[in-house]
Chain A
Amino acid sequence: MVLSAEDKNNIRTVWSKIGGHGAEYGAEALGRMFVTYPTTKTYFPHFDVSHGSAQVKAHGAKVADALAKAASHLDDLPGTLSSLSDLHAHELRVDPVNFKLLSQCLLVTLANHHPADFTPAVHASLDKFLASVSTVLTSKYR
């Protein structure tokens, strides 16, 4: 799967529209994921995953920052995400299926807050972006 020039443009535009809401959306997506897909909580036994949790807020911010970084380095996702890739492969070892679950919740969150900007073409680009990031993060698993 390749990100076209149009995809990259769409992704950058979305991220500029997100502005300072990244952390908020990251936390919301995680919150949606924990309730919708309870199995994802197994990776966070040390967390308070209840609504409004400070830990979820902090983690949401971390996820959002990583995605923002990826969005501004679309020409080299493997390089940009290399250390996160190592982390997920050797320490976190989150089963690959879970990246799709978080991606779904990220799309639901973005569609919810920016319906006018979430055109079908932008939606497609974002889906590809999240899939690309997921692929990179699981690329060193074996």
Chain B
Amino acid sequence: MVHFTADEKAAITSIWDKVDLEKVGGETLGRLLIVYPWTQRFFDKFGNLSSATAIMGNPRIRAHGKKVLTSLGLAVQNMDNLKETFAHLSELHCDKLHVDPENFKLLGNMLVIVLSSHLGKEFTVEVQAAWQKLVAAVANALSLKYH
């Protein structure tokens, strides 16, 4: 199981309060669908994804991005217990949603980039490193129930 040091936990929580779940979540998911268009395969029923503008302005994508980021918030609060925290979501993503876990890594990297673009100087090397560790750990936790 992944262990987060006190410094890493501090680096992670230090910026979380500033994160607007809808804005950052919506932007992260939108960018995922634009930069890696094959990820759109999971969102056929989400309406207009025909252009970057359409995607970034799509309210359903925005809402879903907020949902995803809210779950990330669960991770921030349960860094010592990610496996249990994401057990149910892992089953869901395997059995119902059929999402290749590789996509969790893509989304995690995307979130880090979006945070960097919003936070500027605050997104120090240490903050990035801690967040990359967190998103990688979440991606892994979400894959544990796959079969």
Contacts and interface: CB of A to CB of B under 8 A. Distances in A.
Nearest to A114: B117
A112 B113 CA distance: 8
A112 B34 contact: no
Size class of the contact patch on chain B? 20 to 34
B125 A115 contact: no
Interface in A34-82: 35-37, 51
Given A36-B132, A51-B125, A111 B117 contact: yes
Interface string A24-41: 000000011001110000
A51 B117 CA distance: 22
A118 B34 CA distance: 13
A84 interface: no
B34 A108 contact: no
Contacts, number: 58
Tell me the interface secondary structure of chain B in the complex. helix
B123 interface: yes
B35 A127 contact: yes
B130 to A, nearest CB: 9
A35 to B, nearest CB: 5
Contacts of A124: 34-35, 52
Interface residues of A, number: 21
A108 B112 contact: yes
A111 B116 contact: yes
A123 B31 contact: yes
A107 interface: yes
B118 to A, nearest CB: 7
Nearest to A103: B109
B37 to A, nearest CB: 8
A108 B119 CA distance: 11
Nearest to B119: A112
Given A120-B56, A123-B31, A36 B117 contact: no
Contacts of B34: 120-121, 123-124
A104 interface: yes
Contact of A108 (B126, B128, B133): B128
B10 interface: no
Interface in A6-25: none
Interface string A87-129: 0000000000000000011011101100100111101100100
A120 B132 CA distance: 20
Given A32-B129, A120-B34, A120-B35, 7 more contacts: A35-B129, A36-B128, A51-B125, A107-B113, A120-B31, A120-B56, A124-B35
